[in-house]
Every structure is written in structure tokens, then in C-alpha cells.
Amino acid sequence: MKFTLYNDVKDFHADVFDVLAVKEAQNLIILGNLMVGYEGKDTFGWRDPAAWVMAAVRDSIQDGGEVRLVALMTPPFGMTLYAVDGAGGHVPPLRCLIDGLIAAGINVPGVMTEKSLAQDFADIYCDIKGLGQHIETSLRIYELYSVNPAIATTNTFRLAAERDMAFLPYWVEAFNAEATNTATSVDADIEKYRYQLSQDRLHMLEVDGMAVAMAKINREFMGTAGIALVYTPPYFRGRGYATEVVARLSQKWLDKGFVRCVLYTDLANPTSNSIYQKIGYTPIADSLDIRFKEEVK
């Protein structure tokens, strides 16, 4: 097998795009990120491909040289992977990938991808590097082709606006804190939060003039739109606001011509999993977010 490390996102795109697109919904994160880098229009934060780690593993030339494994890391985040199905399994390509990364002096802080692939990568990488690992989040990927028409849509649904900046940083960080089980910490750099308004993808649900929930389209790829940043403050929960904002955001993008919407849920949160299934989302795969750490001697 052959390991290739890319310096140019356009070369990476040329070699792996068609491979990833075979499973568009499952690969929405890596595809969405790849398109951001390829288009080069948005280099805010992690989106500058100059800092990315892009790699592929192919069969040997005598075996056809086909891509078997794709890897993309957008620091400070961990590695995302996609393994092409095959009788040989994904362990040999993973070993080739990991050997190549280590030889290049590249450290990987974690991995988030399909469950078995993530666990095999973590086991091999941590064994070689002498690291510990822990599962940060067990995730389920859902997709939707049509919204349940029985979902109530009685409140005001609108784009997030500059006036929301009075509370938006706190909502964003509360969402992050709940997702990672960490303390809430609001950054002093307001542009980090104002960026959320820049692409007309963040939406609010409003009741009597007051925002009560939010959700965002975070990625678009061909016929698929990804939904994220779904948040309702604790004092507004239990009233169906998250259900309505996700249903209406999903419908808006379906009306734009997208074939489906995709989202990730934390399996430890039965409420969100129940909400999304009520809207019409169905599970397609499970994923793990695994973080690596130095072993305590």
C-alpha cells in the first residue's frame, strides 16, 4: 500500500472527491470541509487549508492503485476518516496511514468517524505512540428526506441578526459546554461569534419577540445540508422549540432544492434523539469522537 501526504488541497480534492461522494451523507463533515478548502473563499479559523493534514492510502500499483482510505485533519480538531469497503478490511490501510503520519512527524489529538473505523484507528495509533484514549462522545448520524407535516410551526422563524449578538456568544458557548461536558467560557473576541451571522445559515425561533431556540446549517454539499448548533436555553426547554426550529430549518433547505438534511446526535441525550426522529430523521450510522492523552506513568 502507498501513503500520500498532500500539500495542495486541489490535488487532494482531485484524488479523493469521487471516493468520498459515494457516501455523501456519512461523509458530510469531511466533504464539507474539503469543499471549503477547495473553494478558498473562507479561511476564518480552522478553514485555511494551509494548516490541514490531508492524506490518502492506495493499493499498490499492481492492485490497481485505488484509494482505500482518506484522512483529513483540520487543526485544532482531530482526524476524520473514510475507508472504502473491501474484503481486506480497513486495518491494513490504517496501519499504512499511521506509519506515514508518524514518519512525517504529525501528531493526531483524536479521531471522529464511523464507529469501528474510529476505534481501530485509536487502538493502533495509541498502541504505537504509547497514548491513552477516551471516548468523548458516542454519536449517531441521521438523515431526513421529508419533514413530518404534523410538526407545529406556529412561532416566528427568522435569520439570526446583529441584534442577537447580545446573547449569541453565551448560547454558542453553552452549546459547546454541553456538547463537551466542560465549563462555559465566552471568548473576548466578538468576531468569533459574529462569524456565525456571516453566511445567512444561523436561524432563530422567536416567541412574542424573544428568541427561544437556534439551529444552523453548518455544511452544504451537492444535495445534502448539515444541521448543527441546535440549542435551547434550559429555561425554554420542554416546549417543543427545538423540534420546531430544526423542522423549519430542515424544510427551508429542502425547499431550496437540497435532497436531504443530515445531523449528528449525542447518544447520551435521549431527548434530542427522540426529537429528531419525531421530525422525520432516520439513523444511518454510528460514529465515535475519541480523544488521545498521555498515559499517567
CATH 3.40.630.30 correct for 156-279 = yes
The per-residue pLDDT of the chain, averaged, comes to: 92
CATH 1.20.1300 correct for 2-138+289-294 = no
Q: What is the mean pLDDT of residues 231-248?
A: 96
Q: Is the Cα dihedral 24, 25, 28, 30 positive or negative?
A: negative
Domain spans, the chain: 2-138+289-294, 156-279
Q: Cα separations (Å) of 195 from 20, 198, 204?
A: 28, 5, 15
Q: Cα separations (Å) of 248 from 79, 123, 162?
A: 32, 41, 21
Q: Do domains 2-138+289-294 and 156-279 have the same CATH topology?
A: yes
| pLDDT (0 to 100) of residue 64 | 64
Question: Which carries the bigger pLDDT value, residue 80 or residue 177?
Answer: 80
What are the counts of helices (DSSP H) followed by strands (DSSP E) for the chain? 8, 12
What is the tens place of the pLDDT at every residue in 62-72? 666 899 999 99
With beta carbons less than 8 A apart as the criterion, state whether 261 and 143 touch. yes
Q: What is the mean pLDDT of residues 114-129?
A: 95
| pLDDT (0 to 100) of residue 67 | 93
Is the pLDDT confidence value at 45 over 60?
Answer: yes
- How many beta carbons lie within 10 A of that of residue 261, not counting itself? 29
